[in-house]
Chain A
Amino acid sequence: MALAKRYTPETTAAPKTTKGSLLYLFAVPLFLSVVLALLQTNVKAFLLNGIGFVLFLGVLTLAKKGFAQEREYKERTLAKAPKVPYKNIAGILLGVVTFYTAYVAGGAPFAKSIFLSIISIAGWFLYYGSDPKADKLENLGDISAEFVLETIGEAQSKLDAIRTHMKQIHDTALHQKLSGAMKQAEAILQTIQEDPKDVRMARKFLIVYIDGIAKVTDSYTQLEEEKIDDATKARLHTLMGEVQTRFEKELERLKGNNQFDLDVRIDTLKAQINH
């Protein structure tokens, strides 16, 4: 029984989408033409096609970056628009590559190449769309967006750290308590994202408590689990129990605060209607 280990499946971050696989398809003929030119020892064609292939890989890299940025933006309740519009840049570069491969490397007529280039850019924006432009920042009140995003980001990275530590904790009871606390912490973060005005109220929770837990789990995982004495373990269990209660209260408080907001708005509307 002592050899039994907790089953902790590898949790991969956000599932990678296959968006952009179409682009690999286009890279295949270019790659073939590079190989073929090499086999024919056609140096000029090899160089020209090689440049085209490298440029195409550039489009792929930029597009992947852009898609990742977009996915993150869509997943979050609060987010700023991407600073660098990688997807748009990739679209323009695709136009350039299309022109280059057709005109310079392929020797197609100039007008035809320009035509293909324009169509490819149009196709890119129709199929993949452009980068998100507007910030997703609602309900901010008088709090600065940077402050909210920074606080949430900081809390999120600490939660990630705790999750990594948790993989090394084999004490079932402790693991359960921790994962319970983590669920609540996530719920609190979500509540804050929905109503960022609460961030001031919850900052202590976000910074102090989560950081505290991260430090505890960090020290815990640095020791060998079997060598930790029972008294310390017992203290840790009590502490985690307290953490859970504290988190529950925090969540209730935040939800209560939203309830208060609703009450105020109902009263305001009521007063306006009755006037």
Chain B
Amino acid sequence: MLSPTMTKIFGLIFLLFSVGFAVWYPLANLF
């Protein structure tokens, strides 16, 4: 199992990547 810190780091990367991309699409469409 991953250590709590590693779990958090993975979670953060996942969040930044997925939500970051998703919120970028509508903005990019307007340029």
Q: Which residues of B contact A217 (CB under 8 A)?
A: none
The DSSP consensus for interface residues of chain B is helix
The listed residue (A33, A120, A126) touching B19 by CB distance below 8 A is A120
Q: What is the size category of the interface that chain B forms with chain A?
A: 20 to 34
Inter-chain contact B26/A127, CB cutoff 8 Å: no
Of chain B, the residue at the smallest CB distance from A115 is B18
> How far is it, in angstroms, between the C-alpha of A118 and the C-alpha of B27 when the chains are bound?
21
Q: Nearest-CB distance from A112 to chain B (Å)?
A: 9
Inter-chain contact B26/A52, CB cutoff 8 Å: yes
Instruction: Evaluate whether A33 and B11 lie within 8 angstroms (CB atoms) in the complex, with A116-B18, A117-B18, A123-B18 already known.
Output: no
> How far is it, in angstroms, between the C-alpha of A128 and the C-alpha of B30 when the chains are bound?
32
Total residues of chain A contacting the partner, CB 8 A: 38
Q: Nearest-CB distance from A121 to chain B (Å)?
A: 9
Instruction: Evaluate whether A126 and B18 lie within 8 angstroms (CB atoms) in the complex, with A26-B23, A52-B26 already known.
Output: no
Inter-chain contact A120/B27, CB cutoff 8 Å: no
Q: Which residues of B contact A117 (CB under 8 A)?
A: 18, 22
Of A34-42, A157-165, A224-232, A236-244, the one with at least 4 CB within 8 A of chain B:
A34-42
Inter-chain contact A123/B12, CB cutoff 8 Å: yes
> How far is it, in angstroms, between the C-alpha of A102 and the C-alpha of B10 when the chains are bound?
22
> How far is it, in angstroms, between the C-alpha of A122 and the C-alpha of B15 when the chains are bound?
8
Of A103-111, A190-198, A203-211, the one with at least 4 CB within 8 A of chain B:
A103-111
Q: Which residues of B contact A32 (CB under 8 A)?
A: 27
Inter-chain contact B27/A33, CB cutoff 8 Å: yes
> How far is it, in angstroms, between the C-alpha of A120 and the C-alpha of B13 when the chains are bound?
10
Inter-chain contact B25/A106, CB cutoff 8 Å: yes
Give per-residue flags for A22-38: 1 if the beta carbon is below 8 A from chain B beta carbons, else 0: 10001101101100110
Inter-chain contact A102/B22, CB cutoff 8 Å: yes
Instruction: Evaluate whether A125 and B17 lie within 8 angstroms (CB atoms) in the complex, with A113-B22, A120-B22 already known.
Output: no
Q: Nearest-CB distance from B14 to chain A (Å)?
A: 3
Instruction: Evaluate whether A123 and B13 lie within 8 angstroms (CB atoms) in the complex, with A26-B23, A116-B18 already known.
Output: yes
> How far is it, in angstroms, between the C-alpha of A113 and the C-alpha of B10 when the chains are bound?
20
Instruction: Evaluate whether A29 and B23 lie within 8 angstroms (CB atoms) in the complex, with A40-B30, A106-B29, A127-B12 already known.
Output: yes
> How far is it, in angstroms, between the C-alpha of A205 and the C-alpha of B1 when the chains are bound?
48
Instruction: Evaluate whether A106 and B11 lie within 8 angstroms (CB atoms) in the complex, with A94-B19, A98-B18 already known.
Output: no
The listed residue (A36, A94, A101) touching B30 by CB distance below 8 A is A36
Q: Which A-B residue pairs are the 9 nearest by beta carbons? A: A106-B25, A123-B14, A127-B11, A126-B11, A123-B15, A120-B18, A119-B18, A102-B22, A33-B27
